[in-house]
Amino acid sequence: MAEFSLDSSFIPALHKPAALLPVARYRDQLLYVIETFPVTIVIGQTGSGKTTQIPQFLERAGWCADGKIIGVTQPRRVAATTVALRVADEVGCEVGKEVGYSIRFEDVTSSATRIKFLTDGLLIREALVDPLLSRYSVIMVDEAHERSISTDILLGLLKKIRRKRPDLRIIISSATLQAEDFLDFFTISSEGKATTRTADAEEGVAKIVSLEGRTFPIDILHLAAPTENYVDKAIDTVFDIHTHEGPGDILVFLTGREEIDTAMRAVSEKVSQGGDQYAGFQALPLYAGLSSEEQMHVFDKAPEGRRKVVFSTNIAEASITIDGIVFVVDCGFVKLRAYNPRTGIETLTATPVSKASASQRAGRAGRTKPGKCFRLFTEDDFHNLPEANTPEIQRSNLAPIVLQLKALGIDNVVRFDYLSSPPSEFMSKALELLYSLGALDEYAKLTRPLGLRMAELAVEPMMAKTLLSAPSYGCLSEMLTISAMTSFGGSIWFYHDGEQKAMERSRRKFAADEGDHLTLLNAYSAFVTKGKKEARFCHENHINYKTMTQAVSIRAQLKRYLERFGVDTSESLASHQGESELKLKAENIRRCLTSGYFAHAARMQPDGTFRNVEGDMTMHAHPSSLLFNRKADWVIFHEVMETGDKTFIRDITKIEKGWLLEAAPEFYKLSDKRAELP
Residues that bind ligand CDP (CB under 6 A): 16, 21, 44, 46-53, 82-83, 86, 299, 321, 323
Is the CB of 90 or the CB of 460 nearer to ligand CDP? 90
Q: Could you tell me the smallest distance in angstroms from the CB atom of residue 14 to ligand CDP?
A: 8
Nearer of residues 142 and 346 to ligand CDP, judged by Cβ: 142
Least CB distance from residue 82 to ligand CDP, whole Å? Answer: 5
What distance lies between CA 414 and its chain's CA centroid? 25
- From ligand CDP, Mg ion, none, interface partner of 321 (C-beta below 5 to 8 A by class): ligand CDP
Burial of 666 (0-12, 13-18, 19+ CB in 10 A): exposed
Nearest to 173 by CA among 42, 269, 49, 301: 42
Nearer to ligand CDP, 82 or 313 (CB): 82
Nearer to ligand CDP, 168 or 320 (CB): 320
Query: CA 655 from chain center: how many Å?
Result: 30
To the nearest whole angstrom, how small is the minimum distance from the Cβ of residue 319 to Mg ion?
6
Query: Which one of Mg ion, ligand CDP, none is in contact with 86 (Cβ closer than 5 to 8 A by kind)?
Result: ligand CDP
Nearer to Mg ion, 170 or 660 (CB): 170
Question: In this structure, what DSSP letter does residue 645 have?
Answer: T
CB 30 → ligand CDP: shortest distance, Å? Answer: 12
Smaller CB separation from ligand CDP, 315 or 538: 315
- Residue 176 touches Mg ion, criterion: CB under 5 A: no
Q: Does 360 bind Mg ion (CB under 5 A)?
A: no
CB of 208 to ligand CDP, least distance (A): 16
Nearest approach, Cβ of 54 to ligand CDP (angstroms)?
8
Q: How far is the CB of 51 from Mg ion (least distance, A)?
A: 3
Pick between residue 51 and residue 102 the one whose CB is nearest to Mg ion. Answer: 51
Q: Which range binds Mg ion by CB under 5 A, 50-58, 287-295, 381-389, 492-500?
A: 50-58
Stretch in the footprint of Mg ion (CB under 5 A) among 49-57, 118-126, 341-349, 394-402: 49-57
Least CB distance to ligand CDP at residue 46 (A): 4
Give me the phi and psi of 592, to 5 degrees please.
-65, -45
What is the total residue count of the chain? 678
Residue 488 touches which member of Mg ion, ligand CDP, none, C-beta under 5-8 Å by kind? none
Q: Residue 47 binds which entry of ligand CDP, Mg ion, none, with Cβ cut-offs from 5 to 8 Å by kind?
A: ligand CDP
CA nearest neighbour of 456 among 373, 557, 607: 557
User: What pairs with residue 140 in β-bridges?
Assistant: 72, 171
Measured CA distances, 574 to 512, 519, 571, 582, 590 (Å): 19, 19, 9, 11, 20
DSSP 336: E
Assign 3-class secondary structure to 75-115.
Answer: CCHHHHHHHHHHHHHHHCCCCCCCEEEEECCEEECCCCCCE
Q: Of 145 and 159, which has the nearer Cβ to ligand CDP?
A: 145
The answer to whether the Cα torsion of 252, 254, 257, 258 is positive or negative is negative
Among 345, 436, 372, smallest CA distance to 639 is for: 345
Nearest to ligand CDP of 285, 531 (CB atom)? 285
Distance, in Å, from the CA atom of 219 to the CA atom of 277, rounded to the nearest integer, reads: 25
User: For the chain, how long is the longest CA-to-CA vector?
Assistant: 79
Task: With beta carbons less than 8 A apart as the criterion, state whether 324 and 301 touch.
Answer: yes
Which residues, including other chains, have CB under 8 Å from residue 137's CB and lie 6 or more apart? 63, 64, 66, 68, 69, 70, 167, 168, 169
Mark out the alpha helices in 443-578 (DSSP H runs): 450-456, 461-473, 476-485, 500-510, 516-528, 535-540, 545-564
Buried/exposed 309-332: b ≥16 CB within 10 Å, e otherwise: bbbbbbbbbbbbbbebbbbbbbbb
Closer residue to Mg ion (CB): 51 or 436: 51
Pick the closer one to Mg ion by CB: 24 or 264. 24
3-state DSSP assignment of residue 324: coil
51 binds Mg ion (CB under 5 A): yes
CB of 589 to ligand CDP, least distance (A): 42
Min separation Cβ 26 and ligand CDP, Å: 11
Q: How far is the CB of 53 from ligand CDP (least distance, A)?
A: 6
| 634, β-bridge pairs | 603, 655
Binding site for Mg ion (CB under 5 A): 51
